[in-house]
Amino acid sequence: MVPDVRVVSEVGVPTPPSDGLGKPVSLAPADIVMRRLLRVATVDPQAAAGAHRAFRWSILVAAVRCTILYLVVPILIPVVSVAHVVAVPVSITLCVFALVNGIVSVRRFWTANHPSRWKYSAFMGVVFVVLLVSLSMDFTSLVSR
């Protein structure tokens, strides 16, 4: 079943959707499609704080992953010959964690009806592509060993 973004008042009468603060929720076709894709059925303006927190976590995880893979591992390879054995599973784990946090943060931006939800979704789309390319390269590296 596809979630509907319509709001029902206390007396059971359908009302135009709003974010709870009197701001109307966009019913543009693209917004409706995105809300259905993300399974966002309600609007909660209080979710903005959670959205920003999830965004910071997903970016932090991506930064830690890049630091480990592109700074720590190249320095440790000459010192420890098994660094490659450890680096790929760590990279896969961090990529999956970053993907999950990214999806959670995008859903929260849409749940909060954040004004920058489309910009953030586009940015996270680019981040998702980079993470998926990295995951595919990691899995290829893991299988080719």
What's the rounded mean pLDDT across residues 68-75?
A: 72
Residue 58 lies in a domain: yes
Could you tell me which residue, 95 or 85, shows the higher pLDDT?
Answer: 95
Tokens read off for 63: 């930064």
* Cβ contact 19:31 at 8 Å: no
Whole-angstrom distance, CA of residue 38 vs CA of residue 105? 11
Q: Is 50 helix (H, G, I), strand (E, B) or coil?
A: helix
**Rounded distance between C-alpha atoms, residue 125 and residue 58, angstroms:** 13
Residue among 111, 110, 133 nearest 121 (CA): 110
Q: How confident is the model at residue 106 (pLDDT cuts 50, 70, 90)?
A: confident
Contact of 18 with 42, CB cutoff 8 Å: no
Q: Is residue 24 part of a domain?
A: no
**Which residues form the domain of 70?**
45-144
15, containing H or E segment: strand 14-15
Range with lowest mean pLDDT among 8-12, 15-19, 71-75 = 8-12
Global pTM value:
0.62
Residue 37 located in a structural domain: no
Candidates 57, 54, 30; CA nearest to 108 is 54
Residue 27 belongs to a domain: no
**Share of residues in the chain with pLDDT > 90 (%):** 6
What is the total count of domains within the chain?
Answer: 1
Does 104 score more than 70 pLDDT?
A: yes
Report residue 52 as tokens: 């920003």
Residue 135 included in any domain: yes
pLDDT at 125 (0 to 100): 92
109 closest CA partner among 100, 121, 101, 98: 121
Q: Judge whether 12 lies within some domain.
A: no
Structure tokens given for 131: 């993470």
